[in-house]
């Protein structure tokens, strides 16, 4: 018997997502993912000074604003014809690297791991760790209160096959708390060269505004040292421990099997060489990347805009009552094919193309540990493992970049805003390929388009009726109890979706929700 399971909203992701799955004979047979709000940032930018773009687009998201700052500045660099000096390139990499580290730690410990860890184990804690004792006292008081929302946001939760071993659960809860401190360290590290977090002010076209000093280098290094230890001795071992206990998830959440990476972290000021290379993996073969093959389709999206347009010609005309549409996300495709983006794509492309020896060795060693083929990467655990290993690659390279900074030397190059120009900025947010496109007329923004990672991964069906990557990954997922579809949530969260990036809020009648005065 076929059952429709609606999960709305999916929490413990960035923003809220709706997923509808059809379950028959204990497995998902069809799925639809829907972003349920409109993102109108492109309309806000029209008619503004082009240099507003790297500040305004950061407001798309509070978790990965550094990625939007990077995409926007690369976009404007391209339009203005300016190249950052070496210090400017390094500062951009360090700001983005710090954002990667905090985001990957956030995703595993504070969003995804709670699908596996039994948080109620804390009530059995008998040790003397003061932090765990405080958590136990709080949880006990919450339970004793009898409120429906007791122990929120950890409870209520779906029933499921959580880790049974009490000591393992308590160890994981201790690491959850430690991860909060690590994220703070990474955010402070970002603010040293970015000015503040969220929404860094120091990343600009032509480089960065922050001056390089010995004090800042020392402050960055001290925090990075602590984070690298945490990644090596806690984060990666914890991901492998989850993999040891849930090996079946190497075969669940397979998805479309095609990957796309724009490449990220410039290794020279021209941007021609990157730490993680651009590339594709389509129909079982690695290949080069061409931005000309990107197009956005909207047949099932709530837009009346023309479909199949390259983002440089893209339109964003909302149509909330469009018949047959079910999502506010567009459907980006590469050469008309469905491609997954994210850490798995970056690590796999780097591994399969030989574009990063360290990344390749980490992938190879992990596959050997589980005696698994490369195809095992296309799974829930493959995505988690790729994210943790990538975090190590980025943190280790940050230690080298910060040592290359030259105090006293410039970090910014002058530029002039052209009267007419076009630009393109391609980079990678922690969650995947991120692109910004701009057209400038009369020194103002005439059009601006952002194609974000979750638009790729959580896209609806396209004009050829092809389901998006997440929709395909859900098909085949075993569901033990349709009333508690935790298995489907594990698949969705493995993508680390960011609906805050993909959609924003609007009222259909244009009613003002509130007004604020900036002081």
Percent of the chain with pLDDT over 70: 96
Output DSSP code: residue 108: I
User: Is 519 a residue whose pLDDT tops 70?
Assistant: no
In the predicted model, what is the mean pLDDT of residues 453-478? 97
Quick check: 515 pLDDT over 80? no
On the question of a cis peptide bond just before residue 419, with omega within 30 degrees of 0, the verdict is no
Q: pLDDT tens digit string along 169-202?
A: 999 999 999 999 999 999 999 999 999 998 899 9
Q: What is the pLDDT of residues 404-421, one digit of tens each?
A: 999 999 999 999 999 999
* Mean per-residue pLDDT, 45-58: 95
| Pair 469, 344: CB distance under 8 Å | no
Which positions ≥6 away from 259 have C-beta within 8 Å?
280, 281, 282, 339, 340, 341, 344, 345, 348, 349
207-246 pLDDT, tens per residue?
Answer: 999 999 999 999 999 999 999 999 999 999 999 999 999 9
pLDDT at residue 49 tops 90? yes
pTM: 0.94
Q: How far apart are CA 316 and CA 307, in angstroms?
A: 10
* pLDDT at 363 exceeding the cut of 50: yes
pLDDT at residue 505 above 60? no
Say yes or no to pLDDT of 501 above 90: no
CA distance 328 to 325: 8
Nearest-angstrom CA–CA distance, 439 and 422: 4
- Residue among 452, 446, 472, 377 at smallest CA distance from 50: 446
Residue range 380-405: average pLDDT? 98
Q: For the chain, give the mean pLDDT.
A: 94
Neighbour-count burial for 187-207, b at 16+ CB within 10 Å, e otherwise: bebbbbbbbebbbbebbbbbb
- Tell which phi-psi region holds residue 40, choosing left (phi > 0), alpha (psi between -120 and 50) or beta: alpha
pLDDT at residue 153, rounded to an integer: 84
How does residue 499 score in pLDDT terms, banded at 50, 70 and 90? Answer: low
Handedness of CA 296, 382, 93, 86 (dihedral sign): negative
With CA atoms as reference, report the closest residue to 396 among 264, 228, 277. Answer: 228
Question: What proportions of the chain, in percent to the nearest 5, are helix, strand and coil?
Answer: 45, 20, 40
Q: What is the pLDDT of residue 508?
A: 45
| Cβ atoms 355, 276 nearer than 8 A | yes
- Position 35 scores a pLDDT of 87
Residue 511's pLDDT is: 52
pLDDT of residue 362: 97
Identify the band that residue 513 occupies on the pLDDT scale cut at 50, 70 and 90.
very low
Q: H or E segment at 112?
A: none
Buried-state track 123-149, b at ≥16 Cβ within 10 A, e below 16: eebeeeeeebeebbeebeebeeeeeee
pLDDT at 393: 98
In tens, the pLDDT along 239-291 reads: 999 999 999 999 999 999 999 999 999 999 999 999 999 999 999 999 999 99
Rg (Cα) of the chain, in Å, rounded? 23
Structure tokens at 200: 């860094």
Percent of the residues in the chain that have a pLDDT greater than 90, as a whole number? 87
Q: What pLDDT digit, counting tens, does each position of 108-128 carry?
A: 999 999 999 999 999 999 999
Mean pLDDT, rounded, for 333-343? 98
Confidence check: pLDDT of 509 > 90: no
* Size of the chain in residues: 519
Which pLDDT band holds residue 45 (cuts at 50, 70, 90)? very high
């Amino acid at each position: 018997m076929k059952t429709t399971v609606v999960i709305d909203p999916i929490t413990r992701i960035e923003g809220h997502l709706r997923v509808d799955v059809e379950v028959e004979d204990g497995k998902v047979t069809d799925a639809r993912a829907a972003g349920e709000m409109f993102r109108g940032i492109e309309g806000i930018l029209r008619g503004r000074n082009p240099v507003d773009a790297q500040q305004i687009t950061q407001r798309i998201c509070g978790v990965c604003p550094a990625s939007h700052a990077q995409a926007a500045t690369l976009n404007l660099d391209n339009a203005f014809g300016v190249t950052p000096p070496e210090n400017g390139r390094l500062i951009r990499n360090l700001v983005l690297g710090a954002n990667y580290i905090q985001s990957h730690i956030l995703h595993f410990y504070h969003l995804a791991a709670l699908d596996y860890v039994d948080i109620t184990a804390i009530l059995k804690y008998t040790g003397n760790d003061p932090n765990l004792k405080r958590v136990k006292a709080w949880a006990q008081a919450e339970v004793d209160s009898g409120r429906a929302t007791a122990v929120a946001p950890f409870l209520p939760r779906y029933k499921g096959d959580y880790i049974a071993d009490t000591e393992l659960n308590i160890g994981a809860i201790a690491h959850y708390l430690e991860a909060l401190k690590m994220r703070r360290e990474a955010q402070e590290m970002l603010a040293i060269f970015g000015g503040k977090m969220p929404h860094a002010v120091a990343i600009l076209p032509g480089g960065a505004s922050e001056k390089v000093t010995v004090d800042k280098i020392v402050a960055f290094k001290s925090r990075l040292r602590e984070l690298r230890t945490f990644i090596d001795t806690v984060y990666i071992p914890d991901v492998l421990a989850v993999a040891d206990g849930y090996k079946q998830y190497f075969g669940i959440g397979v998805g479309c099997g095609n990957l796309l990476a724009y490449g990220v972290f410039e290794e020279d000021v021209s941007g021609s060489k990157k730490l993680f290379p651009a590339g594709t993996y389509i129909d079982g073969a690695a290949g080069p990347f061409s931005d000309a093959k990107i197009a956005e389709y909207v047949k099932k999206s709530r837009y009346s805009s023309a479909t199949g347009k390259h983002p440089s010609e893209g339109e964003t005309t909302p149509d909330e009552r469009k018949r047959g549409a079910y999502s506010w996300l567009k459907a980006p495709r590469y050469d008309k094919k469905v491609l997954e983006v994210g850490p798995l794509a970056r690590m796999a492309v780097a591994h399969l193309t030989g574009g990063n020896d360290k990344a390749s060795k980490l992938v190879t060693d992990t596959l050997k540990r589980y005696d698994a083929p490369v195809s095992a990467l296309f799974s829930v655990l493959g995505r988690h493992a790729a994210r943790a290993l990538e975090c190590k690659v980025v943190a280790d390279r940050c230690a080298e970049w910060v040592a290359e900074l030259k105090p006293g030397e410039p970090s910014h190059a002058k530029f002039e805003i052209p009267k007419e120009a076009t630009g393109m900025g391609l980079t990678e947010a922690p969650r995947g390929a991120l692109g910004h496109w701009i057209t400038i007329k009369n020194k103002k923004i005439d059009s601006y388009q952002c194609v974000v990672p979750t638009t790729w991964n959580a896209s609806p069906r396209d004009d050829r009726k092809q389901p998006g990557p997440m929709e395909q990954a859900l098909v085949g997922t075993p569901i033990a109890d349709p009333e508690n579809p935790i298995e489907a949530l594990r698949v969705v969260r493995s993508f680390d979706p960011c609906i805050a990036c993909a959609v924003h809020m609007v009222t259909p009648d244009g009613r003002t929700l509130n007004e604020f005065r900036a002081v």
